[in-house]
Amino acid sequence: MLSGVKVGRNEVDVCMLQFVDDTLILCEDSFSNVVTMKAILRGYELTSGLKINFHKSKLAGINVERNDLGCYAKTLNYTQMRVPFKYLGLDVGGNPKKKQLWEPILEKLRARLSAWKEIFLSLARKICLIKLVITTLPLFYISFFKGPESVCKNITSIQRRFL
């Protein structure tokens, strides 16, 4: 009953993403989707015995009229968020083609490396550090957005300089 958002070249219908205790619900801009979402969440409360804190929950709309978004937020008893917003350190609603979206991850890489530069590490330990730690930081971003070639080259350059 909840119509999700079409994602990717194959237009896969996505309506929910979950990470630990966070749930991100994605749907098309319609009041019927909002009512359906409220019913799903209320049904979850009744069947699980858990209580959803609607005052802590937030609503953001991408390409949604401001008046409609206000109506949806009031119906769900959510607070409104502005786009772009941060979700697990990722700017949602930002433009992944712009380098400024990627700057926080590049800064994290540089910060991690500056702390390790003072320590004498063997070549094998540096390679393990790059593979296990430094490579995983950008993976979270890249799993959501296709990184611009310049950013990918920058990440590789940071890794090479450390090595």
pLDDT tens string, the chain, 163 residues long: the values are: 888 888 778 888 888 877 777 777 888 889 999 999 899 889 989 999 998 887 788 888 888 888 999 999 999 888 898 888 877 777 777 788 888 888 888 888 888 777 777 677 888 888 888 777 677 777 777 777 788 888 889 888 888 887 7
67 and 135 fall within a common domain: no
Which residues form the domain of 102? 94-162
How many structural domains comprise the chain?
2
Q: Which two tokens stand for residue 59?
A: 């609503």
- Retrieve residue 127's tokens: 């390679």
Residues 127 and 76 in one domain: no
Residue 89 forms part of a structural domain: no
Residues 99, 156, single domain; the answer is yes
Residue 143 lies in a domain: yes
Task: Tell me: do 105 and 153 sit in the same domain.
Answer: yes
Token pair of 134, please?
């430094």
Whether residue 99 sits in one domain with residue 75: no
CB 144 within 8 A of CB 112: no
Q: Give the C-alpha distances (Å, rounded to integers) separating 96 from 44, 52, 56.
A: 34, 32, 28
Is residue 60 located within the same domain as residue 118? no
H helices present in the chain, as ranges: 31-48, 66-76, 99-117, 123-129, 136-144, 149-162
Instruction: Using the 3D structure, point to which of 83, 115, 148 is the last residue of a domain.
Output: 83
What is the C-alpha to C-alpha distance for residues 60 and 65, in angstroms, rounded to an integer? Answer: 11
Peptide bond before residue 148 is cis, with ω within 30 degrees of 0: no
Asked, for residue 74, whether it belongs to a domain, the answer is yes
- How far is residue 147 from each of residues 7, 91, 92, 98, 133, measured CA to CA in Å? 17, 13, 14, 9, 19
How many Cβ atoms from other residues are within 10 Å of residue 129's Cβ? 19
116 with 51, same domain: the answer is no
Residue at which a domain ends, from 14, 49, 83: 83
Q: Note whether 75 and 111 are same-domain residues.
A: no
The whole model's pTM is what?
A: 0.60
